[in-house]
Amino acid sequence: MKEDQERLVTALSGSHRAKIIETHISWVLLAGRHAYKIKKAVRLGFLDFSSLASRLFYCREEIRLNRRLAKSIYLDVVPIGGTPDAPVIGFYPAIEYAVRMKRFPIEYTLDRLVKKGGLLPHHLDLLAESIASFHQGLPPADPDSGYGKDIIGPIKRSLDEIMRFSATDLSSILQAVSAKHAELENFFSARLNEGHVRECHGDLHLGNIVLCRGQPIPFDCIEFDPALRWIDVINEIAFTVMDLIYHERRDLAFRFLNAYLERTGDYPGLKALPFYIAARAIVRAMVEAIRSGRTPSCESHLALAWKWLNPARPFLIITHGLPGSGKTTFSQAALEKYGAIRIRSDVERKRMAGLSPLQESGSGIDSGLYAPGISKAVYARLLFLAQALLDAGFPVIVDAAFLEKEARDPFCDLARQLEIPFAVASMQAEESALVERIRTRRRDASEADLAVLKAKEAAFEPLHVDERLQAAFFSDLRDPEGWRTLEKCLVSA
């Protein structure tokens, strides 16, 4: 069978003047405007393509799964008739099947773009929006399926495989992984029961996302093993986050992560994100080891895994300022700079009311969503989320007005209880700048208008003397003094 397939692929490449890309489980023929993917007749520990019927089934699965995100790329399954020496695409009886795809320039995959500086912040915003919408539209796994729970096995097997290529002792990583898994075992079960395990893409690294007409499009879902794609949605995005961090773009990693969370609200899932990032890094290290031995890339992935299994001490930043003072602009820059999770009062206020971030509530000053009782509930929600994220090991930025000391004190107290650094980023702006920013603001979760600005100015409480010791003042984010002061606050406890 192997020889017949090789003859067929060689004949097709000649008759269609096609370039062949070969992997350990498939051939891809690049012919004109199309690409044809033929699955190898192999039986491995994790897949079985040995029969023609199984290859047809998995070709159809590949189309079904990938058209969810890449409908413009994945076209159909085509039969290949004739003989191995004279094959004809599109004819029956079929001696083989292929997935037919629309070709795209390989240089536009995100792993290539990030290496040459062509991956831009707004690309990650678009990707986060796409993946969040995709995940939210998927049905959850049956709690009795057991999906999303057997996570430690593949990690251990990956570490065993790496050690085949080197005598380096990886017992410390294995011990850390095992301890973290034991700590999270009940959490994994809860996530399955709560509906967060879904039929995802399964392999969402940068090399499996291509930029087409400015839109990042994921392709090449895992079709051969349901357990590898029926996973926690946080496990899915962990691969993208890990890959961006590996490529030394932590700023883009946290931009993507925060944009995804702002859309989905799945902050509780971050409890497992460090574990998932480490797991994804270990698997990538294994792939590198199999491909080329203990290369620098393999070692870098292992180092990345170790770092996420042993995170640094987190910190807490809250903002302080009137509408239009630049709180969200600051928090966006800070989350990218420091690798932090941001929680926005404007977004959470609407989420609590069942609204999307950009949906108008029609509320007036001190009424509707902005009634005093609702505002207190929002700040309580922000405090709850901040503590959960800090407990998970993430630095946190709470983006809210915090105009009154009464609202700021619980967050300062939380940092003191956890013995972590705390800072207030106080945004300063002239009245004219506030008015101009509010007038020109577009597509933002904030509903503050000029009437709200006037009302908030009356409620504004400057920072007290003791608070100023833990504060950094920003009138212009390009001024390094504010950032220097902030970083001094973040290294003290």
CATH of 110-309, one of 3.90.1200.10, 3.40.50.280, 3.40.50.300, 3.90.45.10: 3.90.1200.10
Residue type, 21: I
Average pLDDT for residues 111-132, to the nearest whole number? 98
Instruction: Categorize the per-residue pLDDT at 359 as very low, low, confident or very high, splitting at 50, 70 and 90.
Output: confident
Tokens 């922000």 found at: 382
Find the Cα–Cα–Cα–Cα dihedral 39, 27, 16, 62, rounded to 10°.
50
Percent of the chain with pLDDT over 90: 78
312: which DSSP letter? Answer: P
Q: What are phi and psi of 222, to 5 degrees?
A: -80, 115
Residue 139: pLDDT band with limits 50, 70, 90: very high
Closest among 323, 135, 336, 159 to 231, alpha carbons compared: 135
Say if 2-103 and 110-309 have the same CATH topology.
no
> What confidence tier does 132 reach under pLDDT thresholds 50, 70, 90?
very high
Assigned token pair, 378: 């929002």
**CB-based contacts of 64: which residues, under 8 Å, 6+ apart?**
none
Contact 211, 123 (CB under 8 A): yes
Read off the pLDDT of each residue in 387-400 and give the average, rounded to a whole number: 97
Q: Note the pLDDT tens digit of each residue in 37-96.
A: 999 999 987 889 999 999 999 999 999 999 999 999 999 999 999 999 999 999 999 999
Segment 324-351, tens digit of pLDDT: 999 999 999 999 999 999 999 999 999 9
364 pLDDT more than 70: no
Q: Which of 79-83, 159-163, 216-220 has the lowest mean pLDDT?
A: 159-163
Task: Decide: 324 and 426 in contact? Cβ < 8 Å.
Answer: no
**Looking at the predicted structure, is the pLDDT value of residue 447 above 70?**
no
Mean pLDDT over the full length of the chain: 93
Tokens 């509930």 belong to 377
Eight-class DSSP state of 109 = B
pLDDT of res. 421 = 97
Predicted local distance difference test score (pLDDT) of residue 367: 65
- The DSSP annotation for 259-293 comes to HHHHHH--GGGGGGHHHHHHHHHHHHHHHHHHHHS
pLDDT in the model for residue 62:
98
Please state the length of the chain: 493
- Give the sign of the dihedral formed by CA 270, CA 276, CA 281, CA 282: positive
Asked whether 207 and 109 are in contact (CB, 8 A), the reply is yes
Given a cut of 90, is residue 473 above it in pLDDT?
yes
Which residue in 394, 352, 401 sits closest to 373, CA to CA?
A: 352
- Check residues 323 and 234 and name the one with the higher pLDDT: 234
Q: Could you state, in order of their start, the residue ranges of all structural domains in the chain?
A: 2-103, 110-309, 316-490
Chain Cα centroid distance, residue 271: 14
Does 3.30.200 match the CATH number of domain 2-103?
Answer: yes
Residue 406: per-residue pLDDT: 95
Tens of pLDDT, residue by residue over 298-312, are 999 999 999 999 999
Query: Where is 162: in which H helix or E strand?
Result: helix 152-163
Q: What is the mean pLDDT of residues 250-279?
A: 98
pLDDT at 402 over 80: yes
Q: Return the number of other C-beta atoms located less than 10 Å from residue 45's C-beta.
A: 6
Which range has the worst mean pLDDT, 52-61, 146-155, 361-370, 374-383? Answer: 361-370
Query: What does the pLDDT average to over 460-488?
Result: 94
Q: What's the CA dihedral at 454, 329, 382, 125 to 10 degrees?
A: 130
Residue 293: predicted pLDDT: 75
Architecture of domain 316-490: 3-Layer(aba) Sandwich (3.40)
Confidence label for 19 from pLDDT (cuts 50, 70 and 90): very high
Higher pLDDT, 139 or 448: 139
pTM of this structure: 0.94
Q: Tell me, what's the pLDDT at 167?
A: 66
Residue 391's pLDDT is what?
Answer: 96
pLDDT band at 213 (very low <50, low <70, confident <90, very high): very high
Region 470-485: mean pLDDT is: 94
pLDDT of residue 356: 85
Cβ proximity of 258 and 335 under 8 Å:
yes
What are the start-end ranges of the H helices in 17-107? 52-66
Whether the pLDDT of residue 220 is over 90: the answer is: yes
User: Kind and range of the H or E element at 81?
Assistant: strand 74-83
